[in-house]
Chains A and B, each alone.
Chain A
Amino acid sequence: MKETAYWTWFIIAGIVILVIAGLHMVVMHLPMFGVFNPESGAVTDWGNVAFRSQNQFLAFTYIILLGAVLYHGFYGLRTIVFELGPKKSFQDGFTVILWIVGLVLFGIGTYAAIAAKALETAL
């Protein structure tokens, strides 16, 4: 039962990634739809980066994307490793390690999003 729930979340995360990473592609690579890139230069120019960092909607969706992508990616890695047939004790330890690494990376990315939003130079 628990494994089915893990798997269902993995598929839901895949769909969430499709939507939000799709949006991310449009924002970053099709600047003609320029609401999120008000300055005329490259999308990676500081003015545009600062503008996007200040945007509540983008900050929120990127944090959701970060969570979805870490969960989906690490669950996928876990499936691959488990399929190679390691012992139950290895499987349990590996799952715990993936949760810890995933949560730490989620913490770093979320902190960066919040810290960038708070930057004074961005205003």
Chain B
Amino acid sequence: MANKQFDNHLGIVGWLGGGRWGVERYLYILHRLTGLGLLLFLLMHIFASSVRMYGPESWGVAMAILKNPVFKLGEFCVFVIFAFHALNGIRLIFIELGLAVGRAEEPVYPYKSSLNNQRPLMVVAMVLVAILIVAGGYNTFFGSH
């Protein structure tokens, strides 16, 4: 679906390259992919959890299927993408509201990039993601439930 209106339009191929925009540009792709992944999971989750309205027998059958280790791994993957999307989403909301991007300045050469001001927020967000992933992994694979 190339857009003829804009000759710099790269379509999906354009998702892959970060150019000179740095790590935030790759986080944008990850945000997109994790968003789509969460949407796919949500659709399955609505149907799987709705089974409870048919009572305990049907629920038992559904749970027996979900006991499979493949689903346990899947559950962890959903947690990982959720943790990333949630914290990166908060970071994006901060930035879109103009928070943590530094003060506006006169564009005097050599120009400064606002990305340098934003970077600490990105680092904090990603450290929190890493902590959540470790805690969630421990809970999923070694937790008591």
Contacts and interface: CB of A to CB of B under 8 A. Distances in A.
Partners in one complex: yes
A30 B132 CA distance: 13
A77 B36 contact: yes
A29 B143 contact: yes
Interface size class of B (residues with CB under 8 A): 35 or more
A20 B82 CA distance: 13
B50 interface: yes
Given A18-B89, A43-B145, A46-B60, A76 B39 contact: yes
B54 to A, nearest CB: 9
Contact of B89 (A14, A29, A73): A14
Contacts of B39: 73-74, 76-77
Contacts of A31: 144-145
Contacts of A85: 1-3, 5-6, 9, 11
Interface of B: 1-3, 5-6, 9, 11-12, 32, 35-36, 38-39, 42-43, 46-47, 49-50, 52-53, 55-56, 59-60, 63, 66, 82, 86, 89-90, 93, 96, 136, 139-140, 143-145
Contact of B50 (A77, A80, A86, A112): A112
Given A18-B89, A66-B46, A109-B46, A84 B11 contact: yes
A73 B38 CA distance: 8
Given A80-B32, A85-B3, A86-B1, A44 B55 contact: no
A8 to B, nearest CB: 11
The 8 closest A-B pairs by CB, nearest first: A85-B3, A112-B50, A115-B53, A73-B39, A46-B56, A116-B53, A84-B1, A112-B53
Given A11-B93, A116-B52, 5 more contacts: A17-B86, A44-B66, A84-B3, A85-B11, A112-B50
Nearest to A80: B32
Contacts of B53: 111-112, 115-116, 119
Contacts of B66: 44
B52 A69 contact: no
A105 interface: yes
Interface in A95-123: 105, 108-109, 111-112, 115-116, 119, 121
A36 to B, nearest CB: 13
